[in-house]
Amino acid sequence: MKGIEGTTAIVTGAGRGIGRDICLALAGSGADTAVLDVDVEGAAQTAGLVEEAGRGALALRCDVSDAEDVQRCVREVLEWREQVHILVNNAGITRDNLLLRMSGEEWERVLRINLTGTFNMTRAVAKHMFRKRSGRIVNIASVIGQMGNAGQSNYAASKAGIIGFTKSAAKELAPRGVTVNAIAPGFIDTPMTAVLPEEVQDQMRRMIPLGRFGSGGDVANVVLFLVSDLGSYVTGQVVNCDGGMVMAR
């Protein structure tokens, strides 16, 4: 896609699921990718697939919740390739529990990885994009951050936080030519959702006007649009990729 050929991207949580599909879509459009994940084996596998697709890849173990680790990884990426054009903050976890049963640890952990992780990574990369006066940042939020969900108060808060963060960062970075957008996926078929009981999956499917779960590729297509030349006048937006789920509520 126009504007992606020859760029360097960083994708977090890229060892499997949606993150892996984003790396492969970027590779298909001509980007080299730094594949970051706490799961170093998963990251290496994704990097192998990117290389098979004919593009450069660098697999790095990175815990996005650790600001020092994030800074070390960004330095390593900049040693590997002199510039970073694209950042996709995709790493995320769930630790579901009803509010009255939720432990402080379950709350903190989800906020620390999903929201603080997005902040850590954005701050480290935006510094570089700010100086070169261009860049594209895409944060993976969720429809749960817009709708809420029983048993996911921690996850919903983290994803709603990402939406507010995205809009603020977009305002700060726009004068320097950096766009910042969020994608709110609905129910996407990945290892994160495969663990849900069959009846919950059926219930979710009935809430989706298009009548099917999304794929990682569906989310990756929106990333491609936002980071390509086609998305150059789009910033501070939340793009829903949910088969019409939020619209139909």
Ligand X SMILES: NC(=O)c1ccc[n+]([C@@H]2O[C@H](COP(=O)([O-])OP(=O)(O)OC[C@H]3O[C@@H](n4cnc5c(N)ncnc54)[C@H](O)[C@@H]3O)[C@@H](O)[C@H]2O)c1
243 token code pair: 């088969």
Taking CB under 6 A as the criterion, which residues in 207-236 touch ligand X? none
233 as an active site residue: the answer is no
Contacts of 79 (CB under 8 A, 6+ apart): none
- Residue 92 vs 135, nearer CB to ligand X: 92
Min. distance of Cβ 234 from ligand X in angstroms?
20
Q: Is 70 in the site for ligand X (CB under 6 A)?
A: no
Place of tokens 């989310």: 219
Give Cα 157 distance to the centre of its chain: 16
Taking CB under 6 A as the criterion, which residues in 120-179 touch ligand X? 140, 142
198 token code pair: 């069959």
Min. distance of Cβ 239 from ligand X in angstroms?
12
> Of the listed pieces 2-10, 72-80, 188-196, 231-239, which binds ligand X according to CB under 6 A?
188-196
Applying CB under 6 A, the site for ligand X has a residue count of 30
Instruction: Please answer whether residues 38 and 9 qualify as being in contact, where contact means their C-beta atoms are separated by less than 8 angstroms.
Output: no
87 token code pair: 């950042």
- The binder of ligand X chosen from 53, 102, 192, 208 (CB under 6 A): 192
First-residue to last-residue Cα distance in the chain: 33
- The binder of ligand X chosen from 3, 135, 185, 231 (CB under 6 A): 185
Task: Fill in the per-residue mask, 1 to 40: x = in contact with ligand X (CB under 6 A), - = not in contact.
Answer: -----------xx-xxxxx-----------------xxx-
Closest CA to 168 of 221, 240, 119, 204: 119
Min. distance of Cβ 214 from ligand X in angstroms?
7
**Strands lying side by side in the sheet with 238-241:** 57-61, 32-37, 8-12, 86-89, 135-140, 178-185, 238-241
Instruction: Please answer whether residues 81 and 32 qualify as being in contact, where contact means their C-beta atoms are separated by less than 8 angstroms.
Output: yes
Just list the catalytic residues.
155
**Contacts with ligand X, residue ranges (CB under 6 A):** 12-13, 15-19, 37-39, 42, 62-65, 90-93, 113, 117, 140, 142, 185, 187-188, 190-193
